[in-house]
Structure 1
Amino acid sequence: MAWNRRYSLNSYVRSALWVVPILALLAALALNRASEFVVQWVAMRGGYDLRHGFLDVSMEEAHAILDRVFTLNLSCLVFTFGSLLVAIQVAGGQYTPRIIATTLLRDNVIRWIVGLFVFSLLWTHRTMTEIGQTHLVPQLQVLVTTIVGLGSLMAFIVLIDYSARLLRPVALVGRIAEHGFAVIESIYPNSELDERAASRSASIPSALHTSQTCVSSGTSVVYYDGKSGVVLAANLKALVREATIAGCVIEFAVQIGDFLATDEPLFYIHRNHQTVDARRLQNFVALGTERTMEQDPMFAFRIEADIALKALSPAINDPTTAVLALDQLHRLLRLVGKQSLANREVKDAAGNTRVLFRTPDWEDYVHISFREIRRCGAGSLQIERRLRAMIENLIRTLPASRHDALTCELDLLNAQIVDSQDYESDRQLAGIPDTQGLGGTWYRSSTATKAEQSTSNAVSDTG
């Protein structure tokens, strides 16, 4: 199976809710057979009948226990799936539909608890069938049914508490940010900002920079001939191996997260392109219907921004939730701002550049974190104060090369305050940075006082 098909299958399995219940079904059948074998083996070798002892329940008691456990698990399954459907609809409508596949359906706690319900249900049904066939009480199976039934009851209580905590805004935005941190650290392994990275990457011949006009004679274009979709991930190690064998440089014509249509450029092959198998290269790129966060660092920013935008919409009007999303965007920007964001070069064992691919630059991250939220939050004191605190903190903590984009956002915020706030007192209040949005204590040290004075002057100058 080609790598891109394996990746798509693995991504589907990770987000499919039915996989664990199917495994539980198979486990229940296998363990039922195993328990019957153990009973027969012990009876033959040890002369002890495991169908007696243990709980030592009568036929009527066994029927009552099994019936109650079966009803309990069936009710738990119905309630769980019904509640999950409602939760998905509410979360998709109140936050963003993009958290369904990336967060809710990939939660292993929910999947394994549902699997426990299915296992207990099938085990109980099999035990009831065995009683009807042999007219004997299988004491071992009834004991296991009792234990599993009690476990299902406790798991159901845990599921209710876990789901209530999972669907809180602070939990969702925090979980998305954690996924974003992992992706950023994997995509940008150099944690120290290299001021010369941009100039160094600019010196590398790149067909991407000239793709809008022409392609050089030493470069070949590989066009995508599969089904259109979103670029999810690429097998960089395999591409490096292919480029090393062919003695060429493979450059991506698209970025992870882009929509790629049929017959659009997928790769540019520099040097020795005659020895490259274009069909084989396409098998190392996975496409799908929806973006994922495995190799897409911008997608975490997109989801956080979408949650903030949905919270600021007139239908919901919940700026406090938007502030929670800004908290996580603040953390993500601080991490990204300390990384080297130049277009990545993947080298072979000899140190030769073999694969080139684009990643978002600093301005891209800044724009997605501020522009839309600032415009939709115009007039909200919470949003304006939180954005100001965010920008000023990043200016203080990030290298100087990151300040220009942040200063531009601060100027735009000042202009937005003048346009959206009608009263001078509100303008002055909006000019105070506040990490809580509105109501947080702002410690007025000498540095902070100077910062506030310069902010007020900026707002006044803009007015």
Structure 2
Amino acid sequence: MGWNRLYSLRSYIKSSLWLVPFLALLFYILAIRLVYLLEPWLGWTEQWPWGLAGSQRLLETIITMTLTFVVFTFGSLLVAIQIAGGQLTPRIIATTLLRDNAIRFTVGLFIFTLLFATGALARLESDVHQAVVGVAGILGFLSIAAFLYLIDYAARLLRPVSIVLRVSEEGRAVIEEVYPAMATDDEVDTSHDPRPSERPAKSILYRGRPAIIVAVNTKALFGLAEKTRSVVELVPRVGDFVASGEPLFRLYGANVPEESVLRTMIAFGPERTLEQDATFAFRILVDIAIKALSKAINDPTTAVLAIDQLQRLLCYVGKRSLVGEALMNQSGELRVICRTPDWEDFVKVTFSEIRLYGAENFQIARRLRAVLEYALQVLPEFRHAALETELDLLDRRLAELYYFPEDLALARVADSQGLGGGKGSGASTPTATT
């Protein structure tokens, strides 16, 4: 199995709600036989003095209870997830909610308890196996506790502040993986085209259903290019849409890698994911913000929550080195070209749409200025040009929107709370976003 298929399989396992309950079914088959086998050594006969009728009622109660838990959990969570996706953004369903282990393992416990109690009841004859009934009773108690916990957990999970924080945490992890090195004061811009001057020896086109590039095995690509002494250029970058017939690779050199091997080093999917897509966390947070700013919803406070996490991510990525799209070997020879977002990409995706849809709101205008002023304080000098451009665009946008001088003066104040934080509250301490 190629790397791309293994990657797709791992991603599917991480986002599958049914897998843990199915494993609970397999574990039940082993567990109930093990309890019957160990019952003579457990010595629970006198500790659990249930009769035949009492044991039967207990097991029937556990079966009814856990079946209700399963139906209620799946039904209510599916509705709640759809509502949360509609109010915030559909991107959170696959990237965060379906990957939540607390939900999957709690449902797995319900399924295991249901099957265990059902199996124990089916084997209940004239003799009561006290150990089996006792284990079923403990599992029933744990299921009640897990159900109460799940209700509280789901209510907290679906809050906007919890969603944006989770997306921000995952985005920070992706930034660390894609840009492992910290920026230095002498970092230079390498936005020039890194491709070799000669014509490519071979171009490889994508063949298959239209899809999104979700991940690339850059280490394997580099090793393959080094082995063949060639240069491998990945034309699209992670997160790009590709259709059949579009260029996928350009190969340079006399001895180029085999096409079949190169194809196994790219994983495709129906939508963008957070694993290697450094700008997708920004995209999700911006989508949440601009949806909250729509006239139908009109919830600028939720947009401010998203901007809080955008500030954190922007200042974090601004301190990383963003110049690693051309991979060289130890001799300084170019081997792989794998394009990644640069600083201007992050700045534009953070501010452009929110400024367009939200500058007419005092909260958004003041919070955006606070982000820009804070970033200008904490980020290196070579990051300032793009931020100053956005600050100028914000001022020009506000001048067009606000006719009264008093409103314009109010909108031009930096406020880390959006509105109500007071004048000058945008000057946060540098540790606030680290």
User: TM-score under structure 2 normalisation?
Assistant: 0.94
2:382 to 401, 408, 414: 401
Look up the equivalent residue of 1:63 and give its one-letter code. Answer: Q
Count of residues in Structure 1 that have an aligned counterpart in Structure 2: 428
Q: Deviations over 1:143-175 (max 9, x none)?
A: 001111110000111101111111111110010
Q: Does 1:262 align with 2:262?
A: no
Q: Does 1:278 align with 2:245?
A: no
Match of 1:105, SS?
A: helix
- Higher mean C-alpha displacement, 63-72 vs 166-175: 63-72
Match of 1:250, SS?
A: strand
1:226 to 192, 208, 217: 208
| Whole-Å separation in 1 of the counterparts to 2:42 and 2:360 | 78
Whether contact under 8 Å (1:232, 1:291) holds in the other structure is yes
Q: Does 1:53 align with 2:46?
A: yes
Partner of 1:452: none
Q: Deviations over 1:342-396 (max 9, x none)?
A: 2423345666442221111111111111111111113200000000111111112
* Correspondence 1:252-401 to 2 at 5 A: 252-272=234-254, 274-348=255-329, 352-401=333-382
Whether contact under 8 Å (1:190, 1:340) holds in the other structure is yes
Match of 2:109, SS?
A: helix
2:76 to 79, 83, 86: 83
Which consecutive unaligned segments of at least 5 residues does structure 1 have?
43-47, 208-215, 449-463
Whether contact under 8 Å (1:95, 1:311) holds in the other structure is yes
| Whole-Å separation in 2 of the counterparts to 1:400 and 1:51 | 72
* Correspondence 1:48-197 to 2 at 5 A: 52-131=45-124, 134-193=125-184, 195-197=186-188
Q: Does 1:419 align with 2:409?
A: no
| Whole-Å separation in 2 of the counterparts to 1:349 and 1:136 | 75
Whether contact under 8 Å (2:156, 2:162) holds in the other structure is yes
| Whole-Å separation in 2 of the counterparts to 1:172 and 1:161 | 15
Match of 2:239, SS?
A: coil
Q: Deviations over 1:222-275 (max 9, x none)?
A: 212233200000111211221122111211101100001112111111213x44
Whether contact under 8 Å (1:231, 1:255) holds in the other structure is yes
Whether contact under 8 Å (2:416, 2:425) holds in the other structure is no
| Whole-Å separation in 2 of the counterparts to 1:365 and 1:203 | 19
Partner of 1:460: none
CA drift of 1:302 comes to 0.3
Whether contact under 8 Å (1:391, 1:410) holds in the other structure is yes
Look up the equivalent residue of 2:20 and give its one-letter code. Answer: V
Query: Against the structure 1 CA distance between its residues 220 and 194, is the aligned structure 2 distance closer, same or farther, given a 3 Å change threshold?
Result: farther
Look up the equivalent residue of 1:6 and give its one-letter code. Answer: L
Q: Deviations over 1:106-148 (max 9, x none)?
A: 00001000000000000000000000xx322111111001111
Match of 2:204, SS?
A: strand
Whether contact under 8 Å (2:274, 2:280) holds in the other structure is yes
CA drift of 1:16 comes to 0.7
CA drift of 1:316 comes to 0.8
CA drift of 1:401 comes to 1.5
CA drift of 1:291 comes to 0.5
1:235 to 210, 217, 230: 217
Whether contact under 8 Å (1:51, 1:137) holds in the other structure is no
| Whole-Å separation in 2 of the counterparts to 1:197 and 1:355 | 20
Q: Does 1:205 align with 2:205?
A: no
Query: Against the structure 1 CA distance between its residues 268 and 115, is the aligned structure 2 distance closer, same or farther, given a 3 Å change threshold?
Result: same
Whether contact under 8 Å (2:233, 2:251) holds in the other structure is yes
| Whole-Å separation in 1 of the counterparts to 2:322 and 2:377 | 20
> Which is greater in Rg?
1
Query: Against the structure 1 CA distance between its residues 379 and 122, is the aligned structure 2 distance closer, same or farther, given a 3 Å change threshold?
Result: same
Query: Against the structure 1 CA distance between its residues 203 and 232, is the aligned structure 2 distance closer, same or farther, given a 3 Å change threshold?
Result: closer
Match of 1:231, SS?
A: strand
Which consecutive unaligned segments of at least 5 residues does structure 2 have?
429-434
Q: Does 1:246 align with 2:228?
A: yes
Q: Report runs of 4+ in structure 1 exceeding 6 Å deviation.
A: none
| Whole-Å separation in 2 of the counterparts to 1:51 and 1:401 | 72
User: TM-score under structure 1 normalisation?
Assistant: 0.88
| Whole-Å separation in 2 of the counterparts to 1:219 and 1:94 | 50
Whether contact under 8 Å (2:199, 2:252) holds in the other structure is no
CA drift of 1:443 comes to 4.7
| Whole-Å separation in 2 of the counterparts to 1:419 and 1:275 | 56
| Whole-Å separation in 1 of the counterparts to 2:401 and 2:199 | 54
| Whole-Å separation in 1 of the counterparts to 2:59 and 2:104 | 24
**What is the root-mean-square deviation in Å for CA atoms of aligned residues?**
2.0
